[in-house]
Homo-oligomer: A and B are copies of this chain.
Amino acid sequence: MSDEAPAERPELAAQFYRLSRALIAAEEPLLAARGIGMWEYVVLLALGSAGAPTQLELSRITGRDKTRLIGNLDALEVAGLVVRTPDPADRRARQVRITVAGRRVTSSCRSAIRRLDDDLMAGIPPADAEVFRRVLATLVTAAEVVGRSPSEAVPGRGAPAEGRKQ
């Protein structure tokens, strides 16, 4: 209990937050130069693997809300990077497919981002980098569950102090 020396270990959330912000800020101009935004790139990436998902399926794949996906698909479609065709089995749904131009843009973006990642990792010894990437991948999957663990529910007093207005 007498943690007089706080050990000064940095908090993971703060570190991940800074890193993601810095990387995304660095990637955005690279994507913009190729005519797309961050979320449109995410959509293109997902479409590169999936076959011809419906918009709702695509929403679930990317984790992006279906209503916000629409604007991205609109932009991608007018840019000729995806096509939306009515689902023959269900005329309410629309199947989304990536085009050849879409694959080309995706590949170009991926290369640029890969280069950025390599720049960031440039100073890390290869052995350490490999450990880092392996642990990172493990944490990403583990993070889905964190917080649901019963390590701590709420502190002493019962009132959840809900109504903060900030």
Interface set of A (CB-CB < 8 Å, partner B)? 3, 6, 9-20, 22-27, 29-30, 32-37, 40, 42, 71-72, 75, 107-108, 110-117, 119-121, 123-124, 128-129, 131-140, 142-144, 146-147, 149, 151-152, 154-155, 160-162, 164-166
CB <8 Å contact, A155 and B71: no
CB <8 Å contact, B147 and A124: no
CB <8 Å contact, B161 and A119: no
Measured between alpha carbons, how far is A133 from B135 in the docked complex, in Å?
10
Given A13-B24, A129-B135: A116 in contact with B155 (beta carbons within 8 A) = no
Measured between alpha carbons, how far is A13 from B16 in the docked complex, in Å?
9
